[in-house]
């Protein structure tokens, strides 16, 4: 055997081994294959594609629900809970709600394909399947007349959407449906409404039995929200397998804004967001509370799926944790302690002191005249209070009891002191003038001066006469015209 034959034989063996998994690959290929959209216009009746309402499964479940709903539920279950017939009914009822939603989607497509001939723009204005079906049932052929002042339509759509539908209906390019086509559309709409009523009855029954099937989940979000979550997820087991981020958006619906403001739109808000524990928190913390509640719902659903903590003890503890964390989020921030500023690093500057500084303060200080002008007597109207000038008032100036202004109080600490050298000079001058102090004035005539002498006391003298005596004495001993004479030395 050549080398090429050996390689070919190995390739065939590998091909045989890989063919063992062909079945799995075919399944994956079928899943990945895009299913083409079915054209429902060729179907003459909706009963050819939607058979759940008239099928035996839904009829049997509704009959059993009616039977068990009229009986009170006993507290304890004998044996495993899975063997209880009512538990099996609850699981089947939750599963069939998913089939009802799928059936309503099929009816929506059937109605859309047949009604687009009359109002093709309605599909973009009302994207929700059930709202579209109920709107088509109310509008019919006379869309322009039925879209105005319709009370039933106001319960289905928002006022903004109704206004857009009314405006668009006046300019639509569609044509009226024949009586046969309109009968087919009305039959499909009636089937969807009947399925919706059956779904509401199933939810009401499951809600009344949630304390039996999911006690811990019901404690956290309530029986109504728990029933809705289980219905959308397709049962308690499927709900327990979902992550918290998916449970948070269960029940979220698409919103049609039609050009209006998006300020009031809350994205990623499902049934959990509208639970009681989330709605009682402040609006700015509701999204965070919804994430927290969804995380605890996942844990509670897993506990309920294994039928543990039937009395709801774990649900109570999880709800207590939620409330504790929400209270912690709502606490005000701690008060910041006010700390004093540190001491400055820079050194203190030297300030000028001494006699010059004290004299400067005395010169620039407030005088007694200004103090008296600034002082006002209480309960007395000033004489110059209503003058027409700039409003200057003398205040208490001249209104004191003595009628005089007190002199400034001299502080011995700030009083300027005479140095000892200056005191010695004054004493020496007094001794030169005979120990008397004479006050002289520069006046003409025979004015006299008062002199105080230690011998005669008070004496009136002529100062000019005294000055003339001094000048004569100085001229006698210290002549200004004196000169030096040369003297010859006598020879001996």
pLDDT tens per residue across span 196-205 = 999 888 888 8
pLDDT tens per residue across span 144-183 = 787 777 788 888 888 888 888 888 888 888 888 888 888 9
More confident residue, 455 or 72: 72
In whole angstroms, give the CA distance from residue 135 to residue 118: 13
Q: What percent of the chain has pLDDT over 70?
A: 68
Residue 104, both tokens:
């309503």
In whole angstroms, give the CA distance from residue 97 to residue 57: 12
Q: What mean pLDDT is predicted for residues 455-462?
A: 64
The residues pairing with 461 across neighbouring beta strands, listed in sequence order, are: 449
Task: Say if 274 falls within a structural domain.
Answer: yes
Of the candidates 40, 87, 384, 320, the one whose C-alpha atom is nearest the C-alpha of residue 206 is 87
Whole-number pLDDT of residue 450: 63
Residue 155, both tokens:
């319960």
Task: Say if 50 falls within a structural domain.
Answer: no
- How many domains are contained in the chain? 1
- Averaged pLDDT of the chain: 75
Task: Say if 36 falls within a structural domain.
Answer: no
- Rounded alpha-carbon distances, angstroms, from residue 380 to 202, 211, 398, 454: 92, 86, 15, 57
Of the candidates 112, 98, 97, 96, the one whose C-alpha atom is nearest the C-alpha of residue 41 is 112
Q: What mean pLDDT is predicted for residues 271-299?
A: 92
288 alpha carbon, distance to own chain's centre: 14
More confident residue, 479 or 40: 40
Task: Say if 378 falls within a structural domain.
Answer: no
Residue 470, both tokens:
């001094």
In whole angstroms, give the CA distance from residue 294 to residue 278: 10
- Rounded alpha-carbon distances, angstroms, from residue 189 to 150, 166, 196, 256, 261: 18, 21, 11, 21, 31
The answer to whether 350 touches 378, Cβ cutoff 8 Å, is no
Per the structure, the complete domain to which residue 327 belongs is given by 215-255+268-331
Q: What is the CA radius of gyration of the chain?
A: 58
Q: Which residues are CB-contacts of 358 (< 8 A; sequence separation ≥ 6)?
A: 414, 416
Residue bearing tokens 């309920």: 304
**pLDDT score of 390 more than 60:** no
In whole angstroms, give the CA distance from residue 457 to residue 449: 13
Residue 327, both tokens:
């209270």
Q: What mean pLDDT is predicted for residues 257-283?
A: 76
Q: What mean pLDDT is predicted for residues 381-402?
A: 64
Whole-number pLDDT of residue 322: 95
| Span of 212-221, 262-271, 310-319 with lowest mean pLDDT | 262-271
Residue 276, both tokens:
């009681």
Task: Say if 220 falls within a structural domain.
Answer: yes
**Domain with 281 in it: what CATH number?**
1.10.246.90
Of the candidates 90, 312, 311, 316, the one whose C-alpha atom is nearest the C-alpha of residue 213 is 90
**pLDDT score of 335 more than 50:** yes
Task: Say if 90 falls within a structural domain.
Answer: no
In whole angstroms, give the CA distance from residue 213 to residue 2: 71
Of the candidates 281, 314, 283, 278, the one whose C-alpha atom is nearest the C-alpha of residue 299 is 314
**pLDDT score of 5 more than 70:** no
More confident residue, 438 or 384: 384
Task: Say if 262 falls within a structural domain.
Answer: no
Task: Say if 175 falls within a structural domain.
Answer: no
The answer to whether the Cα torsion of 221, 225, 229, 230 is positive or negative is positive
| Span of 12-26, 107-121, 363-377 with lowest mean pLDDT | 12-26
**pLDDT score of 394 more than 60:** yes
Residue 302, both tokens:
């897993």
More confident residue, 92 or 443: 92
Of the candidates 467, 433, 468, the one whose C-alpha atom is nearest the C-alpha of residue 451 is 433
């Amino acid at each position: 055997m050549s080398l090429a034959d050996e390689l070919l034989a190995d390739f065939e063996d590998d091909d045989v081994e890989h063919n063992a998994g062909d079945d799995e690959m075919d399944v994956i290929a079928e899943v990945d294959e895009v299913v083409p959209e079915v054209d429902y216009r060729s179907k003459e009746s909706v009963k050819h594609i939607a058979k759940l309402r008239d099928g035996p499964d839904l009829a049997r479940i509704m009959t059993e629900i009616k039977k068990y709903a009229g009986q009170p539920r006993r507290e304890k279950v004998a044996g495993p809970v899975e063997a209880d017939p009512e538990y099996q009914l609850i699981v089947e009822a939750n599963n069939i709600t998913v089939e009802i939603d799928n059936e309503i989607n099929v009816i929506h497509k059937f109605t859309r394909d047949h009604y687009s001939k009359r109002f093709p723009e309605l599909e973009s204005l009302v994207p929700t399947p059930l709202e579209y079906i109920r709107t088509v049932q109310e509008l019919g052929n006379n869309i322009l007349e039925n879209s105005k002042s319709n009370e039933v339509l106001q319960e289905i759509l928002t006022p903004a959407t109704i206004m857009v539908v009314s405006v668009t209906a006046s300019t639509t390019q569609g044509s009226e449906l024949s009586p046969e086509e309109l009968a087919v559309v009305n039959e499909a709409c009636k089937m969807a409404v009947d399925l919706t009523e059956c779904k509401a009855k199933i939810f009401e029954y499951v809600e009344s039995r949630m304390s039996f099937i999911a006690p811990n989940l019901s404690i956290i979000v309530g029986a109504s929200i728990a029933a809705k979550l289980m219905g959308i997820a397709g049962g308690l087991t499927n709900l327990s397998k979902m992550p918290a981020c998916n449970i948070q958006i269960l029940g979220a619906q698409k919103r049609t804004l039609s050009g209006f403001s998006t300020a009031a739109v809350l994205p990623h808000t499902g049934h959990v967001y509208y639970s009681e524990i989330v709605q009682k928190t402040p609006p700015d913390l509701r999204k965070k509370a919804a994430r927290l509640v969804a995380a605890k719902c996942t844990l509670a659903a897993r506990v309920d799926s294994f039928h543990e903590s039937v009395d709801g003890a774990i649900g109570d503890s999880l709800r207590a944790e939620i409330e504790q964390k929400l209270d912690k989020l709502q606490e005000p921030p701690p008060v910041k302690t006010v700390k004093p500023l540190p001491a400055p690093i820079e050194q203190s500057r030297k300030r000028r002191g001494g006699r010059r500084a004290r004299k400067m303060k005395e010169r620039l200080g407030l005088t007694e005249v200004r103090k008296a002008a600034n002082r006002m007597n209480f309960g007395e109207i000033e004489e110059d209070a209503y003058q027409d000038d700039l409003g200057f008032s003398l205040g208490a100036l001249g209104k004191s009891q003595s009628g005089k202004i007190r002199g400034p109080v001299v502080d011995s600490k700030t009083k300027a002191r005479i140095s000892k050298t200056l005191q010695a000079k004054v004493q020496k001058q007094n001794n030169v003038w005979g120990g008397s102090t004479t006050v002289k004035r520069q006046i003409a005539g025979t004015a006299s001066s008062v002199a105080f002498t230690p011998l005669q006391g008070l004496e009136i003298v002529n100062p000019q006469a005294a000055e003339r005596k001094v000048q004569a004495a100085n001229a006698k001993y210290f002549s200004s015209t004196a000169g030096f004479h040369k003297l010859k030395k006598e020879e001996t």
